[in-house]
């Protein structure tokens, strides 16, 4: 891939990003999304977060791992369980880090 192709790709992606974001600003109050689209867009941040976090939790240097050697997966599962039980952010972080540290020391 030549330098020209790289710059054209960067400019093209920038243009597509600018146009898709500007459509909502240009339309202003005249452009109203249907209620169904608004409901669907509420799940976009959670879907994006899952798309970033889940591969990082499942993939290790040896491939996809669900075993005890995957410390990050089990620490995040423990943190999630604590959060669903108590709804406290600091406790979630503390539990996740404690489980992660214990697994690294023991396993």
Residue spans of the domains in the chain: they are: 1-32, 43-106
H-only helix segments in 28-88: 35-41, 44-58, 71-86
Question: Quick one: pLDDT at residue 83?
Answer: 97
pLDDT value of residue 54: 93
Q: What is residue 28's predicted lDDT score, i.e. its pLDDT?
A: 76
What is the percentage of the chain residues whose pLDDT exceeds 90?
A: 79
Cα separation, 51 vs 63, whole angstroms = 17
pLDDT at 107 over 80: yes
Q: Are 100 and 72 in contact (CB under 8 A)?
A: yes
Residue 89 has pLDDT above 80, yes or no: yes
Helix (H) or strand (E) holding 59: strand 59-60
CA distances from 1 to 9, 11, 15 (A): 11, 15, 20
Per the document, the length of the chain is 107
**What are the structure tokens assigned to 22, written together?**
């500007």
Residues 9-30 have a mean pLDDT of 89
**If you average pLDDT over residues 18-34, what whole number do you get?**
83
């Amino acid at each position: 891939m030549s330098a020209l192709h790289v710059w054209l790709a960067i400019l093209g992606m920038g243009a597509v990003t600018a146009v898709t974001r500007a459509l909502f600003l240009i339309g202003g109050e005249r452009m109203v999304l249907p209620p169904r689209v608004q409901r669907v867009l509420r799940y976009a941040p959670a879907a994006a977060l899952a798309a970033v976090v889940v591969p990082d939790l499942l993939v290790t240097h040896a491939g996809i791992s669900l075993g005890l050697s995957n410390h990050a997966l089990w620490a995040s599962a423990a943190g999630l369980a604590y959060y669903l039980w108590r709804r406290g952010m600091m406790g979630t972080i503390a539990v996740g880090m404690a489980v992660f540290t214990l697994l690294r020391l023991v396993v």
